[in-house]
Amino acid sequence: MRVFKGLAIAMVSAWVMAAATPASAVSCAGAPSEVSQQMLAKVNAERKRAGLRPLAFDQKLARAAQGHACDMARRGYFSHNGAGGSTPKTRVKKVGYKTCLTAENISFGWRSVDQVMNDLMHSPKHRQNILRRNVGEIGIGFVPRTGNQGPWWVQVFAKPC
Q: Report whether 131 contacts 44 (CB < 8 A).
A: no
Per-residue pLDDT tens digits of the chain, which is 161 residues long: 444 344 334 433 443 444 344 445 666 876 778 899 999 999 999 999 999 999 999 999 999 999 999 999 998 888 898 878 999 999 999 999 999 999 999 998 888 999 999 999 999 999 999 999 999 999 999 999 877 787 999 999 999 99
- Give the N- to C-terminal CA distance of the chain in Å, as an integer: 39
Backbone angles phi, psi at 148, to 5 degrees: -105, 20
Is residue 147 within a helix (H) or strand (E), and if so which, with residue range? none
Q: Strand, coil or helix: what is 86? A: coil
Helical H runs in the chain?
2-19, 33-49, 59-75, 88-94, 113-121, 124-130
DSSP letter, residue 149: B
